[in-house]
Amino acid sequence: MGLGNPDYANTMYLLAKVLSQQGKGKDAEALIRESIRILEEAGLGESPACIQRMKFLSLELVKSKQLAEAENLQRKILHNLELSKGMEFIGYYSRSRNLKCYSSKHREFEGIRRTIGKMPHCQKENSL
């Protein structure tokens, strides 16, 4: 089993899940990304395993308030489902619903950030 092996990617994914539960989101995120990269390079980017990892990464991104990236990942998941299963697939509806949710959360977050940035006492510091 080498570094580019899908079994290695699976081990990385499982370790990422453990790290996430321990509150080590950044470490988990890095392992999930590497796991996805390995699967994509092996031609398994549209596989259920890869889509599962993308969904998990999307949740990690939302936890860390990286909403724009979570939205883009949801778009990628939706595109992969269209390619692999067709638009009739029930997951298509679920992913499109999640994309709508992430998009609205991202717009809401950006609106809050702009509002806070306009406040006189917050203009010097960019805490968000």
Domains along the chain with CATH numbers: 6-122 (1.25.40.10)
Residue type, 101: C
d(CA 77, CA 58): 10
Q: Indicate the pLDDT class of residue 121, thresholds 50, 70 and 90.
A: very low
Q: Indicate the pLDDT class of residue 41, thresholds 50, 70 and 90.
A: very high
Q: CB-side exposure of 77: number of CA atoms within 13 Å?
A: 28
Kindly report, residue by residue over 63-117, the tens digit of the pLDDT.
Answer: 888 888 988 888 888 888 777 766 555 555 555 666 666 666 656 556 555 554 5
User: Mean pLDDT, to the nearest integer, of 27-43?
Assistant: 94
Average pLDDT of the chain is 77
Kindly report, residue by residue over 52-70, the tens digit of the pLDDT.
Answer: 999 999 989 988 888 889 8
Q: Indicate the pLDDT class of residue 20, thresholds 50, 70 and 90.
A: very high
pLDDT at res. 47: 87
Structural contact between residues 68 and 107, judged by C-beta atoms closer than 8 angstroms: no
